[in-house]
Structure 1
Amino acid sequence: MGWRHRWLQPLVALAATAAAGVVSIAPVAAMPPVAAGELLAEVAMRADQLVAGASRGWFVSYRTNDEHDRPAVSNGQVYLPQGTPPAGGWPVVSWGYGTAGVGDGCAASQRMQADQPPTLAVALSQPMISGFLSSGYAVVATDYIGLGTDGSHHYLSAKAEAHAVTDIVRAARATGEAVSRNWLSAGHSQGGHAALMANHLAEAYAPELDLHGTVAIAPASNAEHALSLLGPSVPNPGGQLDGMSSLLTYILYGLRASRPDLDVDSYLTRYGREIVDNAESLCSSELRESLTGTGPGTLLAKPVFGSRLASALTEYMQIPTSGWAHPVWIVHGTADRVVPLASSVALAAQLRGGGADVDLISFPGTGHFDVIEVALRPAQEQARTLLPPRP
């Protein structure tokens, strides 16, 4: 969710409270069934493609599963730190990027291979990835299913994201490099959402790996409750809900592909259908700019509240509130106008109520994008606490 859209804060707070390319790996077509995490292709990075702190790196393509447990393919990157690996191999941080877009041209690997500038989400993530590498972790980062691979990107599908974040750890181990079974999930915004769900599913989905916890920075959460309040009569005073139009566009693009039985188009105006149809052609900053002055009410032909769409959004996006076996560390800025702090306050309360070990740290005056820089050192310290880089 890495773009500068501005949510209407009271609406989100109310909802949260109520809820309390160029080389061979991209694109990859559908493959014969293989095990999740199966390494399908790897391409060594050039020295100028490595992030700071990496000794070597690869673009990888690997098998994973979507939210319906159907076979899928994702691309991503694998980085190794400098030095000699500890016994058992390098511990791993699986990093989830914030929103880049839903089209192949927005995919991190494809843009890196084409020597194109990174999207905002990737650029913001690079110092954090470098920090983890310098601390002695291997770092893997998924592009997510449908970005540079066959099919659509099911944006903010919690389960699909979690699978992609988890299976790239398996793929990294399949390279034959010294990569440990011990790992952390981490990410920012959309990636924080993915990292949280990877934590929740870890025991059942990847029992051969050993997850030690999660670092979630300004994670997307409880957005499904805010979206359920939208409809054609919702006003857009001063353009305050322009950003929610961007969010809604990408989510409905993904949900329409994930759940054709919903007839998502029936909830959209003619203009709304045109916007969702064209979502692949615009990366996040371009979509935001194209929707300046456009409120979500202009996209919707009927209210979301109480509809099948509302319940489907919850099923598609929601972070479960019980069944947590691993620690969660959430960091959020108090001045975040993309994912308001109220969302994480509600999430932390929900998870604690379900028995999870959760810490929520807030940084005064920090927004959605500068929170990564502010959280850089604390996130490294938390990672070392959860999973020491060397025994």
Structure 2
Amino acid sequence: MSGRGGDASGGPGSGIRHGSTRIVRFPGEDGPETGILHLPATAAPRGGHPIVVFGHMTTGGSRRSAPSLGHPGHPEWRRMSQGDALCDLLLRRGIAVLRPDYPGIGGSGVHPYLLGGPLSGSLRAMMRARHDFDDRLGDDWLVAGHSEGAVAALFAGAADEPDSRSRLRGVAAVTPVTRMDLSIRASLALPGVAPGSGVVSALIGLMLRGAATADPVLAALIDGEGLSPAARARWRDLDRLCLSELAAADSWGGIAPGRIGGPARRALFTRLYASFRANDVAAVTGFRTPVRIDAAWFDEVAPAPLTARLLRRYRRAGVDLTARWWPSHHSGTMRAQHAPSHAADWIAARFSR
């Protein structure tokens, strides 16, 4: 099951300075998927390298959005490489990293954007296939992620073990999104597209497309009168473009959020809000291991008040929680000077116990 060799100088993982990198293919829950395997340069300890399965932030919903196909010249490279600083620190500590592309991106079908079950299933499926990738990979693992990947990680951290030999040691989530219904309701009131805000409409398109994979009523509304003519004309862009391209003025970025819905817009967004509630990380509290959450004071995607509410909920539920706030924005929290070094130390400590 090992895949093509990755080019660490300009291909996937080119921001990684330690260890080796290659693209792998593995059986997902609904068909073959792709991802990136990072192996430490150090010799494996007895029992094999411990593993972090890392979920990436939103890059889009098309095959073009797969981080395993990324390179520094790709329009989505900034987001595709967002986890490199953390992954490199883990490799220096002798920890292997698995990074799935996700269903619908590194595999067939439609990307289930922000749906906790399928996203977490992708992380767990890649862990399940570890011994097909390399016999130096062990059974101790930790699940981690950033943004959309943090949603995947939190859901995976409360799910069953991937197999009878795996042993989950913890969950590390950086800027997890929560209560998206509140954020999207606010954006729909915007009459136009402010400079630099085209990504909001692009994300709404991805949200509708992803939620419809689990909601036939929403799918019917999209096929019927749920979308405006402008949104309908750009619907297929979701199948072929990455997020940066979707956010451009000639795609979803040229449609004001308030003009995405059609005659049945009220029903359309009612179904979308229901999907948000069903897949909100605030409802995930059945963790069997410690959880770490790194949050940003100036987060434009996961606003600090909503994240603070999530942390309070977890603490009330008795979650063994470590939280750290950073003076940064959503993506900036993953810069080397912020969460990565502290998160890497916390992760390494989970494997030493």
Could you say which TM-score interval applies, normalised by the shorter chain? Answer: 0.7 to 0.9
Aligned residue in 2 for 1:107 = 66
Deviation sequence 1:336-358 (CA, Å, 0-9, x none): 21222223212212222222112
Pairwise CA distance, 1:304: 5.4
**Cα distance between partner residues in 2 of 1:199 and 1:368:** 22
Pairwise CA distance, 1:82: 1.2
More displaced 10-residue stretch of structure 1: 71-80 or 41-50: 41-50
Deviation sequence 1:244-289 (CA, Å, 0-9, x none): 3222111112222343343241422222222333212321112222
Aligned residue in 1 for 2:137 = 179
- Normalised by the length of structure 2, the TM-score is 0.86
Letter in 2 for 1:370: G
Pairwise CA distance, 1:118: 5.5
Contact persistence 2:48–2:137 (CA under 8 A)? yes
More displaced 10-residue stretch of structure 1: 262-271 or 139-148: 262-271
Aligned residue in 2 for 1:196 = 154
**Cα distance between partner residues in 1 of 2:171 and 2:299:** 21
Q: Does structure 1 residue 157 correspond to structure 2 residue 115?
A: yes
Identity of aligned residues (%): 23
Query: SS of 1:335's equivalent?
Result: coil
**Cα distance between partner residues in 2 of 1:46 and 1:231:** 40
**Cα distance between partner residues in 1 of 2:19 and 2:37:** 11
What pairs with 1:170-249 in structure 2 (closer than 5 Å)?
A: 170-203=128-161, 205-227=162-184, 229=185, 234-236=189-191, 239=194, 242-249=198-205
**Cα distance between partner residues in 1 of 2:25 and 2:129:** 8
Q: Does structure 1 residue 55 correspond to structure 2 residue 19?
A: yes
Contact persistence 2:158–2:284 (CA under 8 A)? no
**Cα distance between partner residues in 2 of 1:309 and 1:45:** 38
- Normalised by the length of structure 1, the TM-score is 0.79
Contact persistence 1:202–1:211 (CA under 8 A)? no
Alignment gaps of 5+ in structure 2: none
Root-mean-square deviation (CA, aligned residues, Å) is 2.7
Aligned residue in 1 for 2:51 = 92
**CA distance 1:220–1:306, shift in 2 (3 Å):** closer
**CA distance 1:293–1:136, shift in 2 (3 Å):** same
**Cα distance between partner residues in 2 of 1:167 and 1:246:** 28
Find 2:288's aligned residue among 310, 321, 325. 325
Letter in 2 for 1:251: M
Query: SS of 1:180's equivalent?
Result: strand
**CA distance 1:342–1:72, shift in 2 (3 Å):** farther
Q: Does structure 1 residue 379 correspond to structure 2 residue 343?
A: yes
Query: SS of 1:239's equivalent?
Result: coil
**CA distance 1:150–1:305, shift in 2 (3 Å):** closer
Alignment gaps of 5+ in structure 1: 1-38, 66-70
Q: Does structure 1 residue 253 correspond to structure 2 residue 209?
A: yes
**Cα distance between partner residues in 1 of 2:128 and 2:307:** 29
Query: SS of 2:234's equivalent?
Result: helix
Query: SS of 1:43's equivalent?
Result: coil
**Cα distance between partner residues in 1 of 2:271 and 2:298:** 34
Contact persistence 2:19–2:91 (CA under 8 A)? no
Pairwise CA distance, 1:90: 0.3
**Cα distance between partner residues in 2 of 1:206 and 1:230:** 42
Aligned length: 340
Contact persistence 1:184–1:383 (CA under 8 A)? yes
**Cα distance between partner residues in 2 of 1:213 and 1:119:** 28
**Cα distance between partner residues in 2 of 1:267 and 1:95:** 35
Pairwise CA distance, 1:160: 0.8
**Cα distance between partner residues in 2 of 1:207 and 1:346:** 35
Query: SS of 2:235's equivalent?
Result: helix
Q: Which runs of 4+ in 1 moved over 6 A?
A: none
Contact persistence 2:35–2:101 (CA under 8 A)? yes
Pairwise CA distance, 1:368: 1.4
